[in-house]
Every structure is written in structure tokens, then in C-alpha cells.
Amino acid sequence: MTRGQKIISEWYAKKGWQQFSFQKEMEIAFLDGYSGLLNAPTGSGKTFAMFLPFIAAYIDAHPDDYLIRKDNGLQLLWITPLRALTNDIRKAMQTVVEDLGLPWKVASRTGDTSAKEKQELKKKQPEVLLTTPESLHLMLAQKEYPKMFAGLQALVVDEWHELLGTKRGVQLELGLSRLKYLKRDTTLKVWGISATIGNLEEAAEVLLGNDIPAERICIIRAKLDKKIVIESVIPENIEEFSWAGHLGIKLLPQVMEIVSKSRTTLIFTNTRSQSEIWYMGILDKYPEYAGVMAMHHGSLDNDLRNWVEEALHNEMLRLVVCTSSLDLGVDFRPVDSVVQIGSPKGVARFMQRAGRSGHHPGATSKAWFVPTHSLELLEGAALKQAIADELFESRDPIVLAMDVLMQYLVTLAVSDGFYPAEVFREIKTSFAYADLEWKEFHQILDFITSGGKTLSQYDEFLKVEIADGLYKVNSRRVAMHHRLSMGTIVSDVNIRVRFLSGGSLGTIEEYFISKLKIGDTFWFAGRNLELLKFKDMTAFVRKSTGKKGIIPSWMGGRMPLSSQLSSKLRDKLDEVAVMMDHQSPEQHQDIEVRALKPLFELQSRLSHLPRKTEFLIEKFRSRDGFHLFFYPFEGRLVHEGMASLFAYRISKLKRVNFSLAMNDYGFELLTDEEILLEQALEMDLFSTENLLDDIQQSLNATEMARRKFRDIAHIAGLVFTGFPGKGMKSRHLQASTSLLFDVFSEYESDNVLVKQAYQEALQFQLEEFRLREALQRLQKLKIVITRSEQPTPFAFPILVDGLSREKLITETLEERVAKMTLKYQKS
């Protein structure tokens, strides 16, 4: 045992803590100079597992004088995706450092750090610095930044799974490639910490890049046998449970029973407005929870959210209704129960949420799944199976993001400047740009120095100047603008909600406030508010005594059901079909399947329950027209693409206008006249041949790319969004990025940013890869076509989606949906 290791194990003993097995492994790997990835869940002591071996290595390198104050500069750089985490981790590390008597400083540097503190950091280096990917790049944009990292020994990326697969991750890869380049004569140890995902090996590969020798890399898996128990909340009367919907508020009583039996509960909802609705619902029906209940979502003010986290930590709250804003987060005390309302859409996400419950190590986590409509209940069974089979989603790394690269090059030019050949070699060591071609790199260089082919007339695009081969920004204005717009997160313009008496509650979208008149009341942040006036992008409000109010909705991403969960759902459905054939669903092991028996019987009677080897298509005629329902069970985005693709291919036979609707399970094509389905099937509707062409034809690919280009232009630094706090109209920004898109499209056919926009639309909007795989799967299936007189249980949720889209809501949609229960069907 080395001296360092001895000191560390003594420290553990003194604390009375047990060491996890991976702690030992970590020590060995770290002391032997490996880089790698630690796979460990939150709350498993991973920070110590990483930090203590680092200390041990330091002690071993300085055996005689490690307790003496020296100016050896920054030793460890610790990067997290969340500002708030830097504070928590700093406290933990501070404890260690003080306990061991090390004369070290542990500091953090994020957007919260004051200008004065930043100055001090520059003057006197702390030994350990905690920061975010964005702040790292801001440091790289400072003059003489290499000095700062001269003594750096190791770099740790915490919660790497959160960054992998995002442009923030790519930006971090670039920062890493620079730090490795600065330390190229010695070895910089690079470590990632990641929760369990489907592609851990790839995650390590992406983080470490291709310049660390394979024999110096290892992956350590913390085997912590955390038991997770999942229970679906079964509607008491399934016959009266709605076939469609997304709120799940019908099950409020059952959920509150769970809450009442737990000391603390987290209720996860899928959308921000849904959490407002649940909060309001609870307050209305269970007023005794006022005061011990809170809400947490991304549009609430930070102060409010911090308070909630703090109160949860101190056990002052019994119940928090939240969105995934609490997914990652402050390492707060675990709660008794976790409740998930509606589909969690992915296995890993559900696991992470479930992991929030269960107190001490070794304790069982308990999570409840609450369906929001009948068929969704089957997802509960699929989830359990997926977790038992350890089927986790992968996070696919982003490669060749030209916008992020462009920002990075300007960053380097802002500080000390760069030589292209050198930087090209450097970034080629990263996973993201390993395949970058010199031609593309050159186009970007050309763009930042001369505005490329089309923008050379405009000074604002000529950012970087070349002198003796050195690319450098000399204009103070350009440098300032660049520092002001760093990062890869592009946000919409939001309206702040503020009390006239002062105090901000959070933000809502422009669109929502534009629907309101002065004097209207709306429900936000768990309060009923009256709109008083609207000024400078701020909505001033006061508390209202009224009970009713409109609830804001926000435009967010539409996360599709993951392919893992979809696949398990298809498996479950297959089991159901087999059981129904044998007339024995009551014997099925899953409580969800048993509960859904009447629904499946009806589906079977009206249409068909597809086996895994079958592809069900339903025909149905209503006063709205001819409906075709397809059920690939592949997630919403794939269905969106597939619906357009099928519509396009069918319309080649006969010109018809289609109206489309979809959900995570299937999609609908609606027409005024009968569709020639059989004929279309014969002409190979599911073919992957000419897929790209057909997609381009069927969807407005240009419009999709234009939307993607907006973010790309922001990240690449083509538009300046103004000084902080000074709002700029979103319409204005929209117009300028749109204009750039048009100009590039017309005059520069090979523009890398425009190409990227099309690529992103294909990859992320259409999930082209998944679509292709899905089509290939469908080709092998036996097609079953049924015709029914009324919408089937499978069809109904999609039909409802279509109804709201078509705005046929005369007798409120809600009423129509409410009527559609089994009970109604039977009568």
C-alpha cells in the first residue's frame, strides 16, 4: 500500500464509512495513471471514489511536503453539467481537504461567480476547480489561458451521460482536446462518471478521444445492487377509465393515498403545465397539503426552486410535484415514494427517477406508475420487464457539429489566437471531429475570417484576422460579443412574471401572454394571478382571489417513446395476443394485463390483437371521412415520418389529401375518399428504397431544416442576441436567421451550416435511422387489415389527437373523450 492509499483508508476508517468495492478499483486505476469511465449512480459516493484516489496520488508524488503550502497551481478540474452541483461537490471536497490538513483551495467557477472572484481565480490558482462546460470555454477565451492549466494533473467529467449526445457534450470534447494538447508532454488523466446507459463503452470512447492508448483506458462499474420495485396504479374501475388523455388527474385519489402513507413523495409529471394542473388539483381537493407541498419545474424562478430543494432536504415538505427539472440535481435526501404520472418514455429516465426513493444504501427504491389512459397501463408492464432485462437506452454521440466548431475557433482566436494546422490536428483527436475533412475545416476558417462566399460585404461577419499565420480576434467588440454568446443552449425569448410589489415567479412564453387581456387571471407557480400590465418583456401580476384561471402551456420538445421501451411494449402486446387466443388473460403474470382484459377483449372483438409477427392496419369510416390506422408501436417521431411517407406514397397512386395524426403507438391517415390501401401495399409501401428522396418529397424538409438552422446560426455566432437583460424580439431573430438560411441556400450550395441543418432535421426530427429500421421490421410482418364500425381502443387515442388538431371541438373534447369508455362501448 502506498502512503497515499494508507492515509485515505485511515480517513475512511475515521469517518466510520464503509468503502465500496469500486473505491478500491478506482484507487488502483487512478494511481497507475489510467484514464477511463466510472459507472456509478448518484448517491453512491462516487465523488469520494474519484477525489480520494486523486489525493492519494498527489501525496505519493509529494510524500514529504504535501502538507506544506505550495504554489503548484490547478491540479484537478472537475466539470459538471449543472451549476448547482459545483457547490454541493465543493462542500464535500472541502471536508476531505480540511480533514486531511491539506493546504488546498477548492473553488468553483460558473456564471454565479462574481467578477471579483473571477479576478482572484486568475491571480491565484486554486488546486481544485469545479466548473461547467461553458465556463471552461470562457476560460479558454481568456488571454494567457495556458498558464492556468499548466500544472493540471487530472480532469473529471461528472454526469457524463447527461452531456453525451448533446452539443454541450461536443463542446466539452473540444475543451478537452485543447487541455490535452496543452499538456501533451505529460499525461493528463481524464475520467468520466456516468449513470448506467446502453452504450457505456462508446461513452468512454467519446469522452477520451482517440489519442489515449487503449491499454491506458479502463471502465469501472460500481456493482450496487439497488432493488427497484415498480407498482402500477390500477384504476379502480377500468371500465370507466378514459381511453385517451394525458393528465391522469382521474387517479388523483389513488395517488393521494400513496402520498398519505409516505413521509415524502415526489410526483413526476411529463410537462410543466401538467405539474401546475396536478398541484392545483391537489390543493383543491386536499387543502390540508397547503404549506407542505411545492412545485418544481423549469419555468419557475431559481429562487423558488432553490427554496423547494432546500425545504425537501430539510424534510419540511411532504410532497413536490415536478418535471424532470428534479431528475438531475441537487443531491438531496431521498424520498419515500416516487410517483410517475404518464409514460416516462424511457427506461433509463424511469430508473433515475425511481432511484430518488429508498433511503440508505441497500434500501429498496419504490416507484409508482400512474397511467393517464387505459392502454398506457400496458407500459407499466413493459417498464418492469425492461428494467428486469436491464435494457437501457443509449445516448448517441453527435459528430461533426460545425456550429460548435465555429464557436470554438473564434474562442481560441479571442484569447491567444491559433494556427490552423495545429488546431486541426488537435480536434482530430476528438471523437466528434475525428472524421472532419480539411476542406470543411477550411470553409469554417474562411467563414470566420472573410464571411465565406456570401457575407464578405458585412463587417460583422469578419471576426478573425490573420497575421503571420496566426488567426486572432483584434476587435474588442467582437471579443465581447463572442464572450456574451458562448454555449450551445439556445433559449426562446421568455416573458418574466413579476408581482407589481416586486418578486419574480418565473417565465412564460410570449405566445401565451399574447392570448391574455389585462385583468384576466391565470394559474402559474401554483398561484392564481391577475394580469395587471405588460411592459418590457415583463408581465406584472397580483394575487387573485378567483378560483379559476387558464393554465399556461409551454412549447417543449416532444420526446418519443424510446426504442427500448417500444420494443418491450410490443413484446407485452404479443404476450397478450397469445393469452387472448387461449382465453386466459386472467392468468397472466402482469397485473396490468389482467386489469386490461376487458379492453383487449373489445379490441379483439372489434378488430384484432396483433402478434409480434403481425402488422395491424384498421379501417374505419366516420362522418369525418375514411380513416386508416397503422400500429407500428415505434414512438411518435417515427410515426410522424412514416405517416407522411405513406401518405406521399399512396398519393402517387391517386391524388388525395390526407390529414395525419399520431401518438407513440400508431398513426392515422384520414381522407375524404376511400384510400387504395391494398394497391399501395402491393407497390411496397414499406420499402426503404428511395427513402431519403421520398422523405424530402413528403415532408417540408426545407422548413424543418430552416427551423434547425435557427439554433445552428446562434451557436455558430451568426446572430447576436443582445446584451444580457436587454430583451430582443424573437420575431426579429427569427427573421434574421431565416434570411441567412435563404441566402446560404441560394448562393452557397455547399455551405456546411446549411448541410448540418438538413442533417439534424433528418437525424433528430425524423429519427431517420429508427424510421429505416422500423420499415425493415414491418416488411417482414404479416399484414392484418380489419374494418370496424367504431373506433377501437387502439385507435381512439389517435383519433382524439386528430380531433384536437382538426379543431372539431364543438362539444368540448373533454366530454367526447369522457364518453369513450368501455361502459359506453358496451351499452
Looking at residues 609 to 648 of the shown chain, list those that interact with DNA (rule: CB under 7 A): 636
Binding mask 297-336 for DNA (x = CB under 7 A): xxx-----------------------xxx-xx--------
Which residues in the 544-563 window bind DNA by CB under 7 A?
A: 553-560
Residues 86, 80: contact at Cβ < 8 Å? Answer: yes
Q: Does 730 bind DNA (CB under 7 A)?
A: yes
DSSP state of 749: T
- Per-residue mark of binding to DNA, 130-149 (x: CB under 7 A): -xx-xx--x-----------
Using CB under 7 A as the binding rule, whether residue 111 contacts DNA is answered as yes
Work out which of 723, 747, 769, 824 binds DNA, going by CB under 7 A: 723
Whether residue 670 contacts residue 676, with contact meaning beta carbons closer than 8 Å, is answered with no
- Least Å distance between CB 406 and DNA? 16
Instruction: Burial-class residue 207 by CB neighbours within 10 Å (0-12, 13-18, 19+).
Output: buried
- Nearer CB in complex with DNA: 28/735: 735
Among 287, 536, 724, 746, binds DNA (CB under 7 A): 724
- Does 480 bind DNA (CB under 7 A)? Our answer is yes
Contact (CB, 8 A) for 613 and 577 = no
State in angstroms the smallest separation of the CB of 367 from DNA: 17
CB atoms within 10 A of CB 535: 9
Among 18, 65, 115, 678, binds DNA (CB under 7 A): 115
Span near DNA by CB under 7 A; candidates 81-89, 182-190, 358-366, 595-603 = 81-89
Site string for DNA, 766-805 (x = CB under 7 A): -----------------------------------x--xx
Distance between CA atoms of 452 and 740, rounded to whole angstroms? Answer: 12
483 binds DNA (CB under 7 A): yes
Neighbours of 653 (CB within 10 A): 14
415 contacts DNA (rule: CB under 7 A): no
What is the torsional sign of CA 691, 694, 698, 699?
A: positive
Which of 222, 308 has the CB closer to DNA?
308
Q: How far is the C-alpha of 148 from the C-alpha of 170, rounded, in Å? A: 22
Minimum distance of DNA from residue 142's CB (angstroms): 10
Q: Does 264 bind DNA (CB under 7 A)?
A: no
CB of 805 to DNA, least distance (A): 5
CB 532 within 8 A of CB 518: yes
Nearer to DNA, 171 or 199 (CB): 171
Give the bridge partners for 369, in sequence order.
232, 340
Does 443 help bind DNA (rule: CB under 7 A)? Answer: no
Looking at the Cβ atoms of 246 and 608, the one nearer to DNA is 246
Does residue number 485 form part of the binding site for DNA (CB under 7 A)?
yes
**With respect to DNA, which residue has the nearer C-beta, 47 or 274?**
274
Task: List the interface residues with DNA, window 804-823 (CB under 7 A).
Answer: 804-805
Looking at beta carbons only, is 269 or 792 nearer to DNA?
Answer: 269
Binding-site string for DNA from residue 644 to residue 673, where x marks contact by CB under 7 A and - marks none: -------------------xx---------
- What is the nearest approach in angstroms of DNA to the Cβ of residue 85? 8
Backbone angles phi, psi at 521, to 5 degrees: -110, 145
Task: Give the number of residues in contact with DNA, rule: CB under 7 A.
Answer: 71
d(CA 306, CA 272): 17
Residue 486 binds DNA, judged by CB under 7 A: yes
Contacting DNA (CB under 7 A), which of 264, 721, 792, 825?
Answer: 721
Only one residue has cell 397539503, namely: 289
Provide, rounded to whole angstroms, the least separation between the CB of residue 476 and DNA: 7
Picking from 166, 753, 147, 184, the residue whose alpha carbon sits closest to that of residue 425 is 184
**For residues 169 and 163, what is the distance between their CA atoms, to the nearest angstrom?**
4
The yes or no reply on residue 430 touching DNA (CB under 7 A) is no
Residue 726 found at the interface with DNA (CB under 7 A): yes
> Of 371-410, which residues contact DNA (CB under 7 A)?
none
Element (DSSP H or E) covering residue 529: strand 527-535
Among 74, 77, 84, 312, binds DNA (CB under 7 A): 84
Are the C-beta atoms of 154 and 191 separated by less than 8 Å?
A: yes
Measured from the CB atom, the residue of 323 and 825 that comes closer to DNA is 323
Q: Which stretch binds DNA (CB under 7 A): 4-12, 27-35, 82-90, 223-231?
A: 82-90
Query: Which residue's CB is nearer to DNA, number 108 or number 262?
Result: 108
Asked if residues 319 and 252 have their Cβ atoms less than 8 Å apart, the reply is no
Q: Which residue has the cell 398519393?
A: 651
Please tell me whether residue 511 binds DNA under the rule CB under 7 A.
Answer: yes
Whether 764 and 598 have beta carbons less than 8 Å apart is answered as no
- How far apart, in whole angstroms, are the C-alpha atoms of residue 378 and residue 590? 9
Separation CA 199–CA 563 (nearest Å):
14
Burial 233-261 (b: 16+ CB within 10 A, else e): bbbeebeebbbbbbbbbbbbebbbebbee
Residue of 765, 737, 767 lying closest to 753 (CA atoms): 737
CA atoms of 539 and 549, how far apart (whole Å): 16
| Using rule CB under 7 A, residue 177 touches DNA | no
Question: How far is the C-alpha of 581 from the C-alpha of 604, rounded, in Å?
Answer: 10
Q: Are 232 and 369 in contact (CB under 8 A)?
A: yes
- Reference 738, options 706, 703, 702; nearest CA is 706
Neighbour-count burial of 19, counting CB atoms closer than 10 A to its CB (0-12 exposed, 13-18 middle, 19+ buried)? middle
Nearer to DNA, 57 or 713 (CB): 713
Q: Give the DSSP H or E segment for 443.
A: helix 438-450
The DSSP letter of residue 789 is: S
Q: Which stretch binds DNA (CB under 7 A): 253-261, 403-411, 677-685, 701-709?
A: 701-709
Tell me: does residue 362 bind DNA (CB under 7 A): no
Q: Taken in order 525, 527, 528, 530, is the CA torsion positive or negative?
A: negative
Which residue in the set 36, 487, 506, 641 belongs to the binding site for DNA (CB under 7 A)?
A: 487
137 or 588: CB nearest DNA: 137
If the CB atoms of residues 167 and 180 are measured against DNA, the closer one turns out to be 167
* 214 near DNA (CB under 7 A): no
Tell me the closest approach of the beta carbon of residue 729 to DNA, in angstroms: 10
Q: Which of 240, 246, 180, 193 is nearest to 220 (CA)?
A: 193
Which residues, numbered 737-756, are part of the site for DNA (CB under 7 A)? 738
Q: Is 707 in the site for DNA (CB under 7 A)?
A: yes
- What is the C-alpha separation between 541 and 280, in angstroms, rounded? 18
Dihedral over alpha carbons 800, 801, 805, 807 (to 10 degrees) = 20
Identity of the residue, 163 or 579, whose beta carbon is nearer to DNA in the bound complex: 163
Rounded Cα distance, 629 and 620, in Å: 8
> What are the cell numbers at 683?
407497390
Q: Is 110 in the site for DNA (CB under 7 A)?
A: yes
Nearer to DNA, 20 or 268 (CB): 268
Tell whether residue 506 is a contact of DNA (CB under 7 A).
Answer: no
Residue from 239, 396, 510, 601 in contact with DNA (CB under 7 A): 510
- Shortest separation between residue 559's beta carbon and DNA, angstroms: 5
Mention every residue, 6+ apart, whose C-beta is less than 8 A from residue 810.
none
Per CB under 7 A, the list member of 250, 272, 318, 395 interacting with DNA is: 272
Residue 484 contacts DNA per CB under 7 A: yes
Rounded to a whole number of angstroms, the minimum distance from the CB of residue 283 to DNA is 19
- Under the binding rule (CB under 7 A), the answer on residue 502 touching DNA is no
Site pattern 281..300 for DNA (x: CB under 7 A): ----------------xxx-
With vertex at residue 390, the alpha carbon angle to CA 388 and CA 395, rounded to the nearest 5 degrees, is 145
